[in-house]
Amino acid sequence: MHKYFITGGAGFIGSHLTKFLLKNNTVTVYDNFCSGTKKHLKSVLNNKKLKIITGDLKNLKRLKQKIKNHDFVIHCAANPDIAKAAYFPDVDFWEGTYLTQNLLEAMRINKIKNIIYMSGSGVYGENNKNVFTENYSPKNPISTYGASKLACEALISSYSNMFLMNALIFRFANVVGSYQTHGVGYDFIKKIKQNNKKIKILGNGKQKKSYIYISDVINAIVISIKKTKLYKKKKIYQIFNVGTNDSITVNEILKITLSEMKIKKIKINKDKSLRGWSGDVPIIKLICKNIKKLGWKPKFNSNQAIHNSIKEMIKYT
């Protein structure tokens, strides 16, 4: 049995991880509840192996105290709204890079050696072929979100080497599923519930990306912990792309959303831009060699992941 400390543990990915890991471990959720909510953890709130702490990673003094006596840290806390940086350019520094520095320092002081970090495909930026392997270089992020994720990876790498920490880095495609608080499908549902006569697409709708279902994400993380024997090593630093083998366009996601919401007629407005917002990478393809070497493969393709997530989000969005 391990003692997990999950930052952002009441958020989208964090809450799913919390519930899964509680089956055989103790879990401390550390969350400021800006975007996460205890509703995501409703089914496990009475579990004696769960501890929930309301706290902000910016408060290093409190963090150093509360992180004591854990052996695993899973870092999910981050700015959940990628497009927000167009109006608040420093949001990803304060809600990403700065938080990671504090977390690593709290780990170092308390001699905690294992960290799992939720990064993203935004670290790669753009290239002509739109194909990214884990060792692709140079990485030139085009958003502050991607830049922050890359900076956090670099900080984790440095602490891994200087202080003999073990680290697994996950560069996810677009993760979808229940408890989503952002994303194209989530936005479509909200807009249609507000006005089912017309809808605005950001860009021309031809943006094409991989969408991975949350259960496949959890499975990738669990398999990597087991197969790399993370807790038995001294200084391991591994990076995993995690995505599906296919992709789907924004136009196709809207079509699925309209079908699931039983909307037969709606006016669709779009523009000529391939980019949905400033900093958006419109076409991304990830090559997931490292995680597949461990025996992982996605159960759901992008189309199935979108169908599943839309059905679930309609119920609570």
Q: Are strands 248-249 and 208-209 parallel, antiparallel or unpaired?
A: antiparallel
In this prediction, residue 231 has a pLDDT band, given cuts at 50, 70 and 90, of low
Q: What are phi and psi of 3, to 5 degrees?
A: -110, 105
For domain 184-209+247-282+300-316, give the CATH superfamily: UDP-galactose 4-epimerase, domain 1 (3.90.25.10)
Check residue 233 and give its pLDDT.
64
Average pLDDT over residues 168-196: 95
Locate the domains of the chain by residue range. Answer: 3-176+210-242, 184-209+247-282+300-316
Q: What is the pTM of this model?
A: 0.95
10 Å CB burial of residue 127 (0-12, 13-18, 19+) is middle
Judge whether residue 311 has pLDDT over 90.
yes
Residues 100-141 have pLDDT tens digits of: 999 999 999 999 999 999 999 999 999 867 789 999 999 999
User: In this structure, what token pair is assigned to residue 177?
Assistant: 């599923």
Q: Are strands 174-176 and 211-213 parallel, antiparallel or unpaired?
A: parallel
Check residue 276 and give its pLDDT.
85
CA distance 137 to 165: 24
Judge whether residue 221 has pLDDT over 80.
yes
Judge whether residue 272 has pLDDT over 90.
no
3-176+210-242 CATH, one of 1.10.10.10, 3.40.50.720, 3.40.1350.10, 1.10.357.10 = 3.40.50.720
Angstrom CA distances, 121 to 78, 150, 173, 180, 229, stand at 15, 10, 6, 18, 25
Check residue 296 and give its pLDDT.
97
Residues 81-93 have pLDDT tens digits of: 777 888 899 999 9
Check residue 303 and give its pLDDT.
97
> For residue 246, how many other CB atoms are within 10 A of its CB?
15
Q: What are phi and psi of 131, to 5 degrees?
A: -120, 125
Cβ-proximal residues to 135 (8 Å cutoff; 6+ apart), any chain: none
Residues 64-84 have pLDDT tens digits of: 999 999 999 999 999 887 778
Check residue 130 and give its pLDDT.
72
Judge whether residue 55 has pLDDT over 90.
yes
Residues 232-256 have pLDDT tens digits of: 666 789 999 999 999 999 999 999 9
In this prediction, residue 274 has a pLDDT band, given cuts at 50, 70 and 90, of confident
Helix (H, G, I), strand (E, B) or coil at 22: coil
> For residue 114, how many other CB atoms are within 10 A of its CB?
22
